[in-house]
Amino acid sequence: MNPVIHKQTLRVARVVALAPYIHELDKRGIDARQVSMDSGLPGDILQYPNALLSVEKAFAFVDRACQAANDRHFGLTVGQAAPLAVLGDYGRIMHCMPTVGDYLIEGVRLYNLLTNGQSLGIVTGADTWRIQVGWSVGPETGQYQSHLEILAVIINRCRQAAGRNWCPPAISLPLGQFVAIPESDLFAGTRLEQCGLGSWIDIPVDILKLGLPCDDNDPRKLSPGNSTRQLSGDLVDCVRTQIVELIARPDLAVDLVAECLNLSRRTLQRSLEQRDVCFSGLLLAVRREMAMECLRTTDKPIIEIALDLGYTDASNFTRAFRKANGLSPQCFRTALGRA
């Protein structure tokens, strides 16, 4: 019997969350595409930064990356080495934050736009801010590496304000199979505590107002594209988001979306049917909406719009558009006065 996925149950992350690992693999000459396929993902999905993955498969990728790099604490290496720029607009926004406190607040906000499957939050106190990383589902090693990466990124950024020898007074890690804190100057003099499955790092309030090196860009002018709202766990929302992000692929089909979301084709189809929705209907609706928006707001040639929407040629696009709207793309554009 195939299960049915109900509302608010899918735990997902955007591909861009894996960008620091991809960057480090590339530096080492390791094929990230092969790591992706070994994780049960399409090899070329890494080309689509805002596409969705189930958190289980995202952590499986991190786990496989750790094995491929032969690095027991690969997340720590990644957190120390990967520049913010690999996160695209997310990273550029972070690099505009003027103080440590601003950086931490914005970092938590943006991280929670990247995934709904692993929480990141701040508990404010009189003497310290505690940054907490939640434990999720998926491979234990992948999650451990992810926690290491987050802690390393935070410590490195704090050091840019407080000095290169600064270390957090205390951290907690879900060590599991690992029996001791990793040897690293990031944790020199740091007290290790173990409190359940999550991780945390304490940041003294006296460094929150310290300035950070930052770009001159106004962060209000930067936006991570279509990914500025909290990720929904709703199946239809996730499928629709995936269609939008992969729309240019002529091979976009239910199998590809199901694979990324860690579902069988049949489970995905049955679950959509329970919501009175079908994949082909969602695909047609998204293509129609995006086509009309493009015709309204740009002067792109019809063939370019067709290819952007995953059609193999202008004729197929024109035929589908006329069937849905009663007139051709060119007539639609003419009626808007944009011919």
Q: State whether residue 233 is helix, strand or coil.
A: coil
| pTM greater than 0.75 (yes/no) | yes
Q: State whether residue 122 is helix, strand or coil.
A: strand
Q: Which residues contact 132 (CB under 8 A, 6 or more apart)?
A: 119, 120, 121, 122, 123, 198, 199, 200
Q: Summarize the confidence of residues 304-324 as an average pLDDT.
A: 94
**pLDDT at position 17 over 90:** yes
* % of the chain with per-residue pLDDT over 90: 73
What is the bridge-based pairing of β-strands 191-193 and 52-54? Answer: unpaired
Residue of 228, 260, 280 whose CA lies nearest to 18 = 260
pLDDT class for 238, splitting at 50, 70, 90? very high
pLDDT class for 130, splitting at 50, 70, 90? very high
Of 58-72, 209-223, 273-287, which gets the smallest average pLDDT? 209-223
Residue scoring higher pLDDT (177 or 275):
275
pLDDT class for 191, splitting at 50, 70, 90? confident
Report how far residue 32's alpha carbon sits from residue 237's, in angstroms, rounded to the nearest whole number: 28
Return the structure tokens found at 54. 């189930």
| Whether 89 contacts 49, CB under 8 Å | no
| Whether 310 contacts 287, CB under 8 Å | yes
* % of the chain with per-residue pLDDT over 70: 89
**Other residues' Cβ atoms within 10 Å of the Cβ of residue 225:** 12
Q: Give the per-residue pLDDT at 3.
A: 64
Return the structure tokens found at 267. 């489970």
Residue scoring higher pLDDT (54 or 117):
54
pLDDT class for 223, splitting at 50, 70, 90? low
Q: Summarize the confidence of residues 174-190 as an average pLDDT.
A: 74
Q: Give the per-residue pLDDT at 175.
A: 63
Q: Give the per-residue pLDDT at 149.
A: 95
What is the tens place of the pLDDT at every residue in 28-43?
999 999 999 999 999 8
What is the tens place of the pLDDT at every residue in 225-234?
545 567 888 9
